[in-house]
Structure 1
Amino acid sequence: MKKQQGFTLIELMIVVAIIGILAAIALPAYQDYTVKAKTSAAISSANSLKTAVGLCAQENGNVLTTCDSGSGGVPVFNATKEVASAAVTDGVIVLTLATGIGANVDGETITMTPNVGTSSITWTNTTSVTQAAAKDLIEKNNP
């Protein structure tokens, strides 16, 4: 007699179940990772505006009332893949996020408020984003 070789149906079902469990764990982690990466890119795109607001404040004796988009040396923001628009009013930067970042993030805003000190500027970030990973990333560097 010839002995049959191969996997039994039970063994194959166990392997499929293990793969399903691993996918159920990995998918949410991957989605959080992509949202955080896109949100980080959105925040980084505001760095040029933050620098311009800092220079404007320095040139005006730490007064931010003339630090607006298109005036006081603050440039007008060009939209990026992650940021639909950005406006600067009295040094406060408001980013409106673009679509395609993730649920509870698309179209929301990030507000960056400058805190002018005698020798430096710190920034406080607030947001309307409710997605946990993105919100933590946005608010983690607040002083």
Structure 2
Amino acid sequence: MKKARMGIRRVQKGFTLIELMIVVAIIGILAAIAIPQYSDYTSRTKAAGAVAELASVKTGIAMCVQETGTLNGCDAGAANGYVPTPAVTKNVTVVTSIKNGVITVTTGATDTSGTNLLLVDTPTAPAAGAANMTWTTTGTVCNVNRGLKPGQGDCP
């Protein structure tokens, strides 16, 4: 009877070392691809968030132009009170200036070296009889990979 039991083969339990090493290698390859893509995604999200947070400032500048007829004097904190100063957030990290309608801010979006991207919004006063003011966004925030793509946020 003992001899019959010794002949029974034991079932393997667990994984071999080579199988575990293959799984670790696959996870490493996926992480090497996913982490840079995720960084690009979060940077683009911060750039879009900065544009959205500046909407109230753009509205104030448009009201200032409507009332005064000129972009001159449409500054943040001006006595006319039209243009609000935006709050510093994770999307708008530094408000450099809002002078004569031109908005210059540093965004939370970064390039591949970690430098924050600059957003410059320049208004064009509406022509006589026109209803809408047009905006052009320039600066390093118009970066295809880590910022806004052409056509987004008024980037050319």
TM-score scaled to structure 2, two decimals? 0.75
The runs of 5 or more residues in structure 2 that have no matched partner are 1-8
Aligned-pair CA distance for 1:10:
1.8
Flag the 1:37–1:89 CA change in 2: closer, same or farther, 3 A.
Answer: same
Using the aligned pairs only, state the percent identity: 41
Once the two structures are superposed, residues 11-34 of structure 1 have per-residue CA deviations (whole angstroms, 9 ceiling, x without a partner) of 212111111111111111111111
Q: Does 1:79 align with 2:91?
A: no
Once the two structures are superposed, residues 26-52 of structure 1 have per-residue CA deviations (whole angstroms, 9 ceiling, x without a partner) of 111111111122222222221111000
TM-score scaled to structure 1, two decimals? 0.80
Question: Which residue of 2 is the match for residue 136 of structure 1?
Answer: 148
Question: Which residue of 1 is the match for residue 53 of structure 2?
Answer: 45
Question: Following the alignment from structure 1 to structure 2, what is the Cα–Cα distance between the partners of residues 5 and 119?
Answer: 75
The runs of 5 or more residues in structure 1 that have no matched partner are none
- CA-based RMSD of the aligned residues comes to 2.5
Any conservation in 2 of the 1:94–1:112 contact (CA below 8 Å)?
A: yes
More divergent stretch after superposition (66-75 vs 122-131): 122-131
Flag the 1:105–1:68 CA change in 2: closer, same or farther, 3 A.
Answer: farther
Once the two structures are superposed, residues 53-101 of structure 1 have per-residue CA deviations (whole angstroms, 9 ceiling, x without a partner) of 011111123x211211122311233322332224211111111235xx5
Q: Which has the larger radius of gyration?
A: 2
Question: Which residue of 2 is the match for residue 111 of structure 1?
Answer: 120
Question: Following the alignment from structure 1 to structure 2, what is the Cα–Cα distance between the partners of residues 74 and 5?
Answer: 70
Say which SS state the counterpart of residue 106 (structure 2) adopts: strand
Flag the 1:21–1:105 CA change in 2: closer, same or farther, 3 A.
Answer: closer
Any conservation in 1 of the 2:110–2:117 contact (CA below 8 Å)?
A: no
Flag the 1:51–1:130 CA change in 2: closer, same or farther, 3 A.
Answer: closer
